[in-house]
Structure 1
Amino acid sequence: MQVLRTRTRRNSRVNSKSGLDIMGENHSYGTGRRKSAVARVFLKPGRGLITVNNKPVDEFFSRETGRMVIRQPLELTGNLTTFDIMVNIHGGGESGQAGAVRHGITRALIDYDATLKPVLSNAGLVTRDAREVERKKVGLRKARRRKQFSKR
């Protein structure tokens, strides 16, 4: 009979992505995905500053719709000026990146305070939007668009 051994690591956090950052401040973390964009969101108590790839959110997202999408979970929970948010994002276009940041902020808020989950879940922000671009098929013009059919 073989005995199974379990390894334990010292100083490891269990079941939490939250912790202390380099400055010793409490922070929360959430990963968001949308289309081909991936966002890593770090949330810590602050004044409401949002930086995306080391740029202010107004500079990174030129359209108001992108900024509006990002602020949805914060406005819904009433935490617009409660946290400073730092986001690293890559891949995708502007709308996909905005959706990924929104998903990441939602997950980070839940990591910070689990009582916010029902509010965010009822608004449909917790569920990842799984829609992806459909691939182009051989013999078609696009994913589903066929060549024009001529009877005669």
Structure 2
Amino acid sequence: MADLGDLKDLVAGGEVSTAGAVAGGAPAVVEPKIDAQGRSYATGKRKNAIARVWIKPGKGKITVNGREVETYFARPVLRMLINQPFSVAAREGQYDVVCTVTGGGLSGQAGAVRHGISKALTYFEPGLRPALKAGGFLTRDSRVVERKKYGKAKARRSFQFSKR
């Protein structure tokens, strides 16, 4: 195609393909994002907690801040929350997870690890994205504590009113 006249001929002939699609109408194939050590990395967030998550094929061992997941997250509900992406994707016990978590409380940290694991799974196996997206695991829970305003006792609570 040398000039715009050739483009006009192509459009008239119906040979122009849309951007982002491979010839034939099929969508472009997404490549996995895997580093030199065979891991996928993702950052998960919830409230004020931030989790840096690396996953690689393994026996299902989860390490949080250098400790086992059973000792870091002692409550079974939090461990169940972390394992939800693997159960939805039918990948229980197939990936080792190493993550570091900062900020927030234990519940927020567990949610951040879940978000990070979900994103890392989609980077490692892009075919899992529809299942994880339908489960709502790729959506960041952006609720954070509202800041305190001046002239208020807390974020919204006013000081006690005194008539006299």
- The list of structure 1 runs, each at least 4 consecutive aligned residues, that deviate by more than 6 angstroms after superposition, is none
Structure 1 gap segments, 5+ residues each = 1-14
Q: Residue 65 in 1 paired to residue 77 in 2?
A: yes
Distance 1:120 1:149 in 2: 50
Residues 32 and 124 in structure 2, CA contact (< 8 A), matched pair in contact too: no
Q: Alignment identity in percent?
A: 50
Please state how far the C-alpha of 1:147 moved relative to its aligned partner.
2.8
Report what 1:112 is aligned to. 124
Distance 2:161 2:76 in 1: 42
Distance 1:103 1:70 in 2: 9
RMSD of aligned alpha carbons: 1.6
Structure 2 gap segments, 5+ residues each = 1-30
More strand per residue? 1
Deviations 1:83-112, CA, capped at 9 Å, x for gaps: 011111111111111111001000000001
Distance 2:57 2:65 in 1: 19
Distance 1:16 1:68 in 2: 27
Task: Specify which of 134, 140, 148 is matched with residue 146 of structure 2.
Answer: 134
TM-score, scaled relative to structure 1: 0.81
3-state SS in 2 of match to 1:19: coil
When residues 42 and 72 of structure 1 are mapped into structure 2, their CA distance, relative to the original with a 3 A threshold, is same
Q: Letter of the 1:36 partner, please give it.
A: N
TM-score, scaled relative to structure 2: 0.76
